[in-house]
Structure formats: structure tokens, C-alpha cells
Structure 1
Amino acid sequence: MSLKKSHIILLLLLALVLGFAGAYMGVQLADQGGNSEESIEQGEETSPSSDQISGTELGKVEQAFSLIKDNYLEEVEDKQLVEGAIQGMLSTLEDPYSSYMDVDTMAQFNEQIESSFEGIGAEVSMVNNMVTIVAPIKDSPAEKAGLRPNDQVLSVDGESVEGLDLNEAVAKIRGEKGSEVVLEIQRPGASEAFDMTIVRDTIPLETVYNSIEEIDGKKTGVLEVTNFSEHTAQEFSEQLKTLEEEGIEGLVIDVRGNPGGLLTAVEEMLKEFVPEDMPYLQIEDRDGKKTPYFSELDEKKDYPISVVIDEGSASASEILAVAMKEMGYDIVGQKSFGKGTVQQAVPMGDGSSIKLTFYKWLSPDGESVHEKGIEPTVEVKQADYFYTNPIQIEDPLAYDQTDDKIENVQIMLDGLGYEPGRTDGYFSEETVSAVNNFQEDNELDVTGKVDEETAGLIEAQIVDKIRNGEDDKQLEKALEELYE
């Protein structure tokens, strides 16, 4: 092997180190180019240098590169080995949020942050080496199909995702508008995995929605934030101003199912609520140095506020929620996801990037929620039917049978206003009557048995009821708590 070829890996690894040096000296540069998941202004830092890596260690990498190039059974491209080396280094960090993004993945990442993209519309993460749904995006195919936070993806179109990194798994799930993808899902609490067919679509990133509710004669604003994207802070500010001009006397901020996004977005939003006498956020670097960040706000709002969270509220959502909690506002719902680190996408010069964890973020009081989540001040679960699983059956479910699937059907029927008599999985006479009534109301053959058609319609009506916001106990409680 020639000297030039044998030093390719050495030169590329040095370029990798130098790439980090440039990014570390000015973290905002990548953010201005739209490449940052989360960023915050930082002072100048000492950059890492190539002499931190001994010649012996780099020589070992070079030796492995040469060994594979010269002797492996099949021909291997230099690029394949270099990218594999980078991915290998990142995998040793055991950090699901640090990853290598090739040119194609980087383009998709920028689309998701900046405007819209095509796919199923769900934020995913690696949790215990499993591809896990953090949250489906509002009005996305994933939400309409019934994907939920903490669902684990076992396979995509029949191919296992075991052993893939997060970017590789996401690349399999995403695809062109109109195409179908079949995900095999393992849901916590479900005894068996099930398949979910989702039709991909364009996912617009409209991220803030507002409404006004009348509570005991008081106008109450509701701001739902579904993602922290490039324009979220501006949308939020404009819609908050509109609500205040309407004369609201209280406000609910709903970040359920919001997987996070740009740190700069949630910073700007918190500056609307957190007064200058307390930090809205602290950032901790690798050396344990904590830097607090403050607004220029004179005083807090003169109306009560509550925040609604759930297990799909992550990252920037948690930054907002914990800051409001430590200001004394109620947090309603269920414990949040627990992501307390800050990533920066560092350009590698060829269109690819490394997304690396640079910092921890802390609450105003200096507490970390990483892998712990935020406990609500008012814990509220939704109705049982919110947590049911898709019904997949081969043979009809019928009288006198006992099965977990029957329990699932009974909970759904109860949620739809039919009375199955019990919800323990035994197909009783009362359950037969409830199925008969459902079939009659929906112009199906009245058999008293749950066949594939009946099961599909029961499930579809439950999904519609959840998406339409009916019986939303968490939001109802958040509104109720405002004026107590």
C-alpha cells in the first residue's frame, strides 16, 4: 500500500479533531446555518488539539485501516471505513443523543428543524438500545395511526432494526409522501408486539396552536406547543399577544407529546415569563462549571399559569416546564421523558455532521432532570382507553373466551359509551350485548363477535375520540387548577 493511501485515515481523523476545534470555539456558527438541535451562546473556550491523541493510538487506527484495505475478502471503499470509524467512536460514548449524520441524514435533519419533511411524523430516540418513540407530531400520520410515547420499534417493513444506530433506523422509517411503512411495535404493558401500517405524508411544522376556554366565566387562553422549531418562539409570542389582547385572565401552556427541538426557541419563550431576578436556565459544561442565563423581564405575568406535560414531553419542553414549576406554577399531567443534555451539530466540511452532546442543561435552581423527568405538581392520568393497544386478531373473539385482546376491546367499548360489563378480559354476556349494540349502530353484521372489521372500527373510533380532545382529563384539570 502506498504512503498516501496508508495515511488517509490519519489525515481524516486529524480533520475530525480540527473540525471540533472550530465548532467548539464558536458554537453559534453551526446554529446560524440551521444545523443545531439545541444551542446557547457561550464564551470562547480552549479547543481540543491533535496532540491530545498519541501517535501510538493513531498508529493503531491506521494499522487497522491498512489491514482491512489490504486483506479483507471483498473490496471496501475508503469512505465506508472512515465513516465506520467515526460511528464506532461515537458508539463508545454510550450516548443515544450523539451520532454521525451523513450528507443525506443531515439534509433531512435541516428540513425537520427549518420547515417541513416527508415521513411518518414522530420523534424517536435510543432507549436501552431500543428504537423508541419519544412523541408523535400533532396531526401527523404517526399520531393518526395511534403511535404513542415509549412505543418500541422492533422492525421496519419486516426487517429488524436491532443493531442499527438511530440514524440508520430513522432512514428506514422515513420515506416519500404516499408510501406505506409497516412498523412492528412493542408497547409497554402489551403482552405481544403488533404491526402498524402508516402512510407517509408531508409533515408541516406549524408548532403553536391557540384557543380560548371559558372557565367559571373567566376567559382562559390555551397555547399548545408541539415542537420547538425555527419559528416557534415568534409564533408563540404573536399568539400570546393575541390572547392577551382578547383579555385572558389565565393561561395554560400544553407541551404534551412535544419532543423538544431548538434551545434558542424555548429560551425566547421563557424570557416572556421568568423575571430578571432568577435564571430561566443554567448550562453546565464538562468541567462542572455552571452558567446561569437571565431575562430582562421586570416582573412575572399578572395572571395565573399552568403547564401540561406527559411522558412524551422531552428536552426543550422540560426546560420550559421545570422553569415554570420552580416559579411556583402548577405542572399538570404525568412525569416527563427526562432528557437533560444539549447537542450541537458540528459540520465536517463535506455536508456531513457529528451531533455531539456538549452540555447539560439545569433548572433555574440547578437541578438536572436527565433520565429522571419532571414530576407534576398535580398528577393526572387520562381515561383508560387512552392507553389501549391496536387490536390484531386472526379468529373472532367470542362469548366465554378469555384473552388480553378481549380486555383491550372491553376498555375501548367502555370508552365509546357502550357497557361491556367488565374489563378483565372475560367475554361475558354483557360484552356480547355491548358488541351487538356497537355493530348495530355502525351498520355491521350483528354477531356479538369481534371480528377483524368490528375490531378495526372500534379502534378507529377510539383514535378519533382521543385526537378530537374529548374527555381530556389532564387539560380539564389544568384549567380547573388555574383559579383555585
Structure 2
Amino acid sequence: MRMSRIFLLAAVAAAAGGLVYFIMNGKAVSEEPVSGQKPIDEAYDLIRERAVHRVGPDELVEGALRGMADVLGDPYSTYLTEEEAAEHEESLSDERVGIGAEITESRGRFIIVAPVRNSPAEKAGILPYDEIVRVDGERVEGRTMKELLRLIRGKEGTDVGLTLFRPDEGRHVEVSVKRAAIPQKTVESRLIERDGHTIGYVGVSMFGEKTAEEWEAHTKKLIEGGADAFIIDVRGNPGGYLKSVGQVAGSLLRPGTVFAYMEDADGVKEPLETEAPGDEEYAGKMRKIKTVLLQDKGSASASEVLSGALKDNGRTFVVGTVSFGKGTVQETMPLSNGGEMKLSTRKWLTPSGSWIHGKGIAPDLESEQGPLYGIPSMPVDGRYRPGEYGEDVGYAQRVLAALGYDVPRADGYYDEMTKKAVEKFRDDLDLEPNRAMDREFFRALRGKIAEHQADEGNDEQLQLAIGYMKHALKTGN
């Protein structure tokens, strides 16, 4: 039987209807009681005998389990079917089987954002902005993202056929992709040279199974490269395993330092203390290195544990915005039907005893990003003229305004001022003179977003963190 797992992850659980809160074992109609509660047994038999919509006993049990979790009123507690439990565990694992492509949903269409480098998708010739139309001959129109991913994923080494619409060429293409195990990297790093200082940048996207190992490998490499300070970036990090964040905190704090408290339903607090990494030379260097931590409203749960641990222990300076504010710990426990019950079983508190649930952790220095840096590069397409209305027009209006063009509205109505901004944008980028938002226009718009976001100088929060670190290194504070 699988052991329960403790993790902290910000994800809103889907509420599903059930009967009422109870435990059932899924017996046939009237064969024997399915629970120890008479009203539940009666409802179960009535549904099985008389409901016009036929539902199997397993589905009834699973619906009831979802209802039992739902009645708690906690978005982080839910019932997971066997398949959902496997998918959830895979999302935090160090690899998953698939084709290696980032996919987004836009206006009911599934668009390839980008294939992962050296992935099966890249090798098969899949390109950014390709639209997935069919998977193994099955149309994906009307399906959810979860349903699409289930169609694409499969056993390692097997093939999946994709029908793609390539908008830049105006045609459909057929590709066959061999599924493979795709490593899930959660840590990235690089060296930043500024005014004679070498600062190590470490980005942590989530706290998965192997995050602590990745963290140690990256930080060792940065130190070997001459880094005399670190910028730790947990912006957009939704959390993950508590063990992983504890190991990362343990590399920066002295052994035996409290990095968080766990509090149970009775209010009993348990301190969580750091353990030193096995490499003593590495541990000694890590405890001395200066750090700045970057966070935003997408930094949640386990990433907030790290922020609170380092901030309360005077080990870092936090730059960015107030974090998400998730102060509960979930534990998954296996059930006899192969599913799992994911429950919030404890609160977690910062070393100073603060419960940040619903409040978040405030930065030491607040900084908002520029408007264009936070706008996603959406795979919009189509053709719009003055006087027309559309969601894609509203998106273009927001991007144009962020680029500095005079567009006072963003409601999707293509008015006279929007027309002038489009004409000026087309002229500035040497596009064909035109008043329309067309394929060429949207392609150029995406290019400007990508160009802006690829320029590190436009990341205002990062630049502020670098400036603070330069000052700290110069003054020795």
C-alpha cells in the first residue's frame, strides 16, 4: 500500500457533488449496507433502483467521496481517483512520459507554445503556434486540457499521431511522435556580472522530488564560477514537497535552526529544524553567502515556507510583491479503491509563529513588474477591422498600450484611436500599410512581447534585486 505523502501546493480543487459525508465500500443494490449510516444506505439504494440516469456503484462511491471532501469547505482538500492520484504524483516527479511540448488553451483551441529542446516534439518538427486538431484521429474540439493530455500521454516508446494546423502556412500537417520520459527540471541558474560583482541567479519553479539535488548541483556550480551572492527566484512557484523546501532551507541556515512550525487541529505545534547538507565545505560556503529572494503573488505554499524561513531568520532580503498566502499542509492518504484522500491536516507557521494563510508574506522592498512583462504571448489569430469587436482586439489593445501606444480602451471594440495605434505600430515595424489587425499584425505583436520579456533589463523586480545586492556587497551589510 502506498504511504501517505506530505506536500504544500497551491491548487484549487474542483468541487464535485456527492451524497453526503460518509464512507462506502461500493456493494450492489440491497445486497448489504454500504455504510454504517442508514440514510446513506437508503439514498444509495434509491439511486441505484430508481434514478433515470444510471450510475454504477463505483461512480456513486467516488461521487460520495468527493462530496465528503467538499463539505469541509476547504479548496485544498479533495478526493482523487486512482488515475487522478497518479497524475498528481507525476506532476511532482522528476520526469513524466509525453512528447515534450508546452500547450496552452486559447478560445477553445489547443496551441503549442513551444516544444522542449531536444524533445520528441521538437524532433518531429512541431513548431510554436501549431494548433492541435486531432490526436490519433480523434478530434479534440470541445475537450478539456486534462482530456487532451490523457490522449497525448501513454507508454514510453509508443507513437502518437497528431494532426496540426500551421497558421503561418495555412495548412494541416500530420506528425507521428514517439513518447519518451521527459525530465522535469525545477531549478535553473546563471551568473550575472555587474560592476565587478558576480551574482548567482537561481530560479526554482516548484519543489519536486529532486529539487534539493538540483539546487545543490546548481549552487555548487555558481560558487565555482565565482558567485559571491545569490538571487533566489520563486516567483510563480506554486509549492510542492515540504521535504524538498526543508532541504533547500537547510543549505542556507545553520543546523538545528527552526524553519517552520507544524500545528495540528488541537493547536499543538511541532518545530521543523534544518539539517546540514552532507558536504561540509559546501555547507560552510552556503551559510556565508548573501541572498535576495524574489517573490510575487504566484509564490505559494512551499515557496512561502522558504521565504518565511529565510526572512524570519534574517537570512535574506525579500523583493517583489505580497505572496499568495497559503498556510495549510496537505497529506495524501491511500484508500482501498486505489484512490486517495487529500486533506489539509495541519497549519504551518513561520519561525516567528505567524500564520500567513489568506495574508501572504510581505516583501521587504515592494516592486511591481511593468505591464508588458506580465502579459502572456497569446496565440491569437484572425482579421479585425475598425468598427468590429472581439476578445483578440482587447488583447491587442492591452499590448499596444503597454508598448506605449495611445490606446485608452481595452474592451475589444476597434475604435478610431485603436485604428490609429494599429497604423502607427504597423508603420514602426515596417509592416504592409493596413488598418487591420491581421495575421501579420498579430505575429509582429507576439514578437514584440517575446523581445521585451527576453531582455533581462525589462525585469524590473530582478533589476531592483541586483541593485540591492550590489549595494549590500559594496557596504558589507
Give, in whole Å, the separation in 1 of the partners of 2:238 and 2:142.
27
- Structure 2 residue 192 is the aligned partner of structure 1 residue 213: yes
**Identical aligned pairs, as a percentage?**
28
Give, in whole Å, the separation in 1 of the partners of 2:304 and 2:163.
33
Aligned-partner SS, 2:252 = coil
CA distance 1:117–1:343, change in 2 (3 Å): farther
Aligned-partner SS, 2:199 = strand
CA contact (8 A) 1:433 1:448 kept: no
- Structure 2 residue 366 is the aligned partner of structure 1 residue 379: yes
CA contact (8 A) 1:210 1:221 kept: yes
The Cα of 1:71 is off from its aligned counterpart by: 2.3
CA distance 1:348–1:407, change in 2 (3 Å): closer
Aligned-partner SS, 1:100 = strand
Which amino acid letter does the alignment assign opposite residue 312 of structure 1?
G
CA deviation profile, 1:203-232 (whole Å, cap 9, x unmatched): 641111111111221111111111111110
CA contact (8 A) 2:369 2:461 kept: yes
Segments of 5+ residues of structure 2 without an aligned counterpart are 10-22, 24-33, 105-112, 122-127, 130-139, 154-160, 165-176, 277-282, 411-416, 472-477
Matches within 5 A, 1:277-296: 278-296=257-275
CA distance 1:402–1:348, change in 2 (3 Å): closer
- Structure 2 residue 420 is the aligned partner of structure 1 residue 420: no
Aligned-partner SS, 1:344 = strand
Give the aligned partner of residue 432 of structure 1. 423
Matches within 5 A, 1:109-124: 109-114=88-93, 115-118=95-98
- Structure 2 residue 304 is the aligned partner of structure 1 residue 318: yes
- Structure 2 residue 4 is the aligned partner of structure 1 residue 30: yes
Give the aligned partner of residue 346 of structure 1. 333
Give, in whole Å, the separation in 1 of the partners of 2:91 and 2:351.
29
Give the aligned partner of residue 107 of structure 1. 86
Which amino acid letter does the alignment assign opposite residue 290 of structure 1?
K
The Cα of 1:471 is off from its aligned counterpart by: 1.2
CA contact (8 A) 2:8 2:301 kept: no
Of 214-223 and 467-476, more deviation after overlay is shown by 467-476
Give, in whole Å, the separation in 1 of the partners of 2:462 and 2:149.
32
Aligned-partner SS, 1:306 = strand
Aligned-partner SS, 2:373 = helix
Matches within 5 A, 1:55-454: 58-114=37-93, 115-118=95-98, 157-158=141-142, 170=146, 175-176=151-152, 204-276=183-255, 278-296=257-275, 301-328=287-314, 329-388=316-375, 390=378, 396-398=384-386, 408-409=395-396, 412-413=399-400, 420-421=405-406, 426-427=417-418, 429=420, 432-438=423-429, 440=430, 444-454=431-441
The Cα of 1:233 is off from its aligned counterpart by: 0.5
CA contact (8 A) 2:426 2:432 kept: no
Give, in whole Å, the separation in 2 of the partners of 1:365 and 1:180.
55
CA contact (8 A) 1:421 1:428 kept: no
CA distance 1:380–1:236, change in 2 (3 Å): same
CA contact (8 A) 1:90 1:100 kept: yes
Of 455-464 and 95-104, more deviation after overlay is shown by 455-464
CA contact (8 A) 1:226 1:258 kept: yes
CA deviation profile, 1:454-483 (whole Å, cap 9, x unmatched): 124303541454256451111111111113
Give, in whole Å, the separation in 1 of the partners of 2:114 and 2:243.
20
Aligned-partner SS, 2:190 = strand
Segments of 5+ residues of structure 1 without an aligned counterpart are 1-18, 24-28, 40-49, 124-135, 146-155, 162-168, 182-199
The Cα of 1:242 is off from its aligned counterpart by: 2.0
Give, in whole Å, the separation in 2 of the partners of 1:137 and 1:30.
35
| Residues matched between the structures, number | 384
CA distance 1:262–1:175, change in 2 (3 Å): farther
The Cα of 1:327 is off from its aligned counterpart by: 2.5
Which amino acid letter does the alignment assign opposite residue 295 of structure 2?
I
Q: What is the TM-score normalised by the length of structure 1?
A: 0.68
Work out which of the residue numbers 435, 444, 449 in structure 2 matches 1:462.
449
The Cα of 1:293 is off from its aligned counterpart by: 1.4
Give the aligned partner of residue 170 of structure 2. none
How much is the aligned-residue C-alpha RMSD, in angstroms? 3.9
Aligned-partner SS, 2:399 = helix
CA distance 1:176–1:404, change in 2 (3 Å): closer
CA distance 1:397–1:308, change in 2 (3 Å): farther
Which amino acid letter does the alignment assign opposite residue 309 of structure 1?
Q
Give the aligned partner of residue 3 of structure 1. none
The Cα of 1:301 is off from its aligned counterpart by: 2.5
Give, in whole Å, the separation in 2 of the partners of 1:392 and 1:92.
40
Give, in whole Å, the separation in 1 of the partners of 2:103 and 2:382.
29
CA distance 1:238–1:395, change in 2 (3 Å): closer
CA contact (8 A) 1:391 1:405 kept: no
CA deviation profile, 1:425-472 (whole Å, cap 9, x unmatched): 63374652232222x2xxx42214323441243035414542564511
CA contact (8 A) 2:205 2:234 kept: yes
The Cα of 1:266 is off from its aligned counterpart by: 0.3
Give, in whole Å, the separation in 1 of the partners of 2:457 and 2:162.
31
Give, in whole Å, the separation in 2 of the partners of 1:454 and 1:210.
35
Of 108-117 and 233-242, more deviation after overlay is shown by 108-117
Give the aligned partner of residue 152 of structure 1. none
Q: What is the TM-score normalised by the length of structure 2?
A: 0.69
Give, in whole Å, the separation in 1 of the partners of 2:432 and 2:368.
35
Which amino acid letter does the alignment assign opposite residue 262 of structure 2?
I
Give, in whole Å, the separation in 1 of the partners of 2:54 and 2:394.
55
Give, in whole Å, the separation in 2 of the partners of 1:67 and 1:401.
54
Aligned-partner SS, 2:348 = strand
